[in-house]
Chains A and B, each alone.
Chain A
Amino acid sequence: MDDNWTLAARRNALIARATIIQEIRRFFIEGGYLEVETPLRIPAPAPEAHIDAIPAGNWFLQTSPELCMKRMLAAGYERLFQICHCWRAGERGSHHLSEFTMLEWYRANSDYLDIMVDCEGLIRTLVSGAGRGTSITFRGMTTDVGGEWERLTVEEAFDRYSETSMEEALALDRFDEIMVESIEPKLGMERPTFIHDYPASRGALARLKADDDSVAERFELYIGGLELANAFSELNDPIEQRRRFEQETAYREELRRQAYPLPEPFLGELASMPPSAGIALGVDRLAMVLLNAGRIDDVVAFTPDEL
């Protein structure tokens, strides 16, 4: 205790974190989801412009279990969840760890609206389980998860919180800066916010909206200004998916980022995937919100700096 007080002092947070993970498991098992484990080391991560995988031998550590879980959907598994570690090179900050814990779940014959309902159910269960009724206090703000959650399109969010419209932001290549500086800090304050319908160019694995192909059926969940999860109605058109992967790969090459081989088995089986939806939720960040922790460091036993 005397030698590593930082670690000793995290005892309560680590006990609470373990309880959260046990309750997540119970929620999905009771909902008829199958818990799966897929390999952490993979030959071909999904090529995405701004996500860098860490090489491991001649393969890579996964940045997400997404592709393997979708291959399971294509093989007829209908409801899946997984809690696993993911790695993303160069990501470290007060709410980023290069190695972090991800919860992903996928459901066949569903779309992103069904996943929103799952999110509401999961987080209400975790909050009431922790004996807090329906509210969370995080970063000095009390967020009520019991009522109706806010649903805001990305376009509406720009109109409400920024002087620049979404269209202008994209044209000026200022989308991410405005998101970080002006929009994110306003999301999920009194109640959680789903910000949805992203520009089509910002969802390499998402299905476009049937009645408006300028936007993708994608949402992000925010509580207390912190991004917790990213979800899609999943693209299941292999030709379009290949085209988008090639586009992202070309963009990565332009930025002189490492190119990955295309995930051919995934592309080959994608046509068999039923209309599905899925989500990736950061478990460490969820623990931060539920435990009112200021830094991701407070909810893990070890950070890379402590090894």
Chain B
Amino acid sequence: MTRALALLRRRLVGSVFVLLIVVIGSFLLLEAAPGDAVDAYIVSTGGDAGMIELLRHRWGLDQSELTRLANYLWALLHLDLGQSVTFSQPIRNVILDRLPTTLILMGSATALSFGFGSALGIYAGARPGSFRDRFLSIGSLALYAVPGFWLGLVLIVVFAVDLRWLPIGGIETIASAKTGLARATDVAIHLVLPVSALGFIYLALYLRMMRAGMAEAWRQDFVLAARARGLPRRRIVLAHVARNALLPLVTMLGLQSAQMLGGSVVIESVFAVPGLGRLAQEAVAGRDTPLLLGIILVSAVLVVAINLLVDLAYAFLDPRVGASEAGT
């Protein structure tokens, strides 16, 4: 337990620095964007030009860059991300509104890709060099080359337009007034296609990693020892080879979370899923730079949190991790 706590403490300190750099970077991007908050406000409200200087002064926009950065940081410490022009609401509320949908989408896609990917990887890696291994390797490489947004469109053409099995987009049937289990089922049916489009590329990734890890593990001495002891093949594959190949996949879960968040932007726009990714696209369309940067900051925090969780899970799974740091 102290081992996990020491690891957590060390990672938290590192994360604070990383997030600070992200904040400074997003401040610089905000500064680089044409126009400022006052311009956006005047455009959206149609206020008169005489107010511009007054507003700039009141909002502290006529101060030096450093002071403005300090103000920006101070506001962020109070979880204040500013005001969205396109939604006329605090950015924090807009983002919190959309976050759960994206988390459900990402969580389901991760579960799907990790589950099926590692299972198929074990199936392929159990007999390296066999026909099924080569078939799955090439198949997963082909799948890995498919852009998610295009796969989404193909899935729509096949399963929503031609076969009419699944809805074409959205997160639930509009104005159906469903509640409880009926609503959950409705959402699940709507999520089948977007989750597949988002998750398939990672399924291929996990399959390939698992397969490669197992091919590596087969060469290790402990596998030879297990064979020499006459253990049944099934047990060698699962308990010795696959188990050792699984650990890097857990690390990958954290590493790919940022990439998956980026991927969900396009997938949500293809399937009209009202999540964080679609919000990012709406922010681009509405030229709402503060909202876009707010989304980036929240995503960065999310990625840091996911990686912390993955690190902790890893520390529990692998007793070697952090053993040397327990004393520090």
A and B from one complex: no
Seen from chain A, the residues whose Cβ lies within 8 Å of a Cβ on chain B are: none
Seen from chain B, the residues whose Cβ lies within 8 Å of a Cβ on chain A are: none
